């Protein structure tokens, strides 16, 4: 259940602001799984190309972390939180 816990609203806003300014953010590809997700989250869905997650979903989950270091401060992630190297191979399977 921890994985489904929502982050606080102001934390979600902070995550989304960072993702919206990030070069790893991109439009969700035209694949079956992402097209299915677009039905739920909207046709303008964007993903993090560093982990393949849907940004709106990732930003709202308390258990998620940004997988990339802040270029200005490698101790922090691009979300401004303590950065930990993500487990190798931890990407969504699509
Ligand atoms: S989760 Fe991190 S690396 Fe991915 S788009 Fe957001 S800020 Fe960029």
pLDDT at 1: 52
- The average pLDDT across 38-58 equals 92
pLDDT at 3: 55
User: Could you tell which of 16, 17, 22 is best to mutate to test the pocket of ligand 1, judged by most ligand atoms within 8 Å of the CB?
Assistant: 22
Cα(67) to centroid(ligand 1), Å: 7
Protein residues with CB under 6 Å of any ligand 1 atom: 18-19, 22, 24-25, 48, 50, 55, 66-68, 78
Kindly report each contact of residues 39-46 with a partner whose C-beta sits within 8 Å and lies 24 or more positions away, as own/partner. 46/19
**54-94 per-position pLDDT tens digit:** 999 999 999 999 999 999 999 999 999 999 998 887 666 55
The domain ranges of the chain are 2-77
CA pair distance 19, 50, nearest whole angstrom: 11
The CA-based angle 86-61-32, given to 5 degrees, is 80
Tally the C-alpha atoms within 13 A of residue 77's C-alpha that lie toward its C-beta.
19
């Amino acid at each position: 259940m921890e994985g489904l816990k929502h982050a606080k609203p102001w934390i979600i806003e902070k995550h989304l602001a960072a993702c919206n300014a990030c070069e790893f953010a991109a439009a969700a590809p035209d694949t079956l799984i992402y097209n299915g997700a677009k039905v739920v989250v909207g046709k303008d869905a964007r993903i993090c190309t560093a982990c393949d997650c849907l940004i709106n979903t990732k930003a709202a989950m308390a258990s998620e972390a940004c997988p990339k270091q802040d270029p200005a401060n490698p101790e922090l992630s691009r979300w401004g939180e303590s950065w930990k190297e993500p487990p190798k191979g931890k990407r969504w399977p699509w």
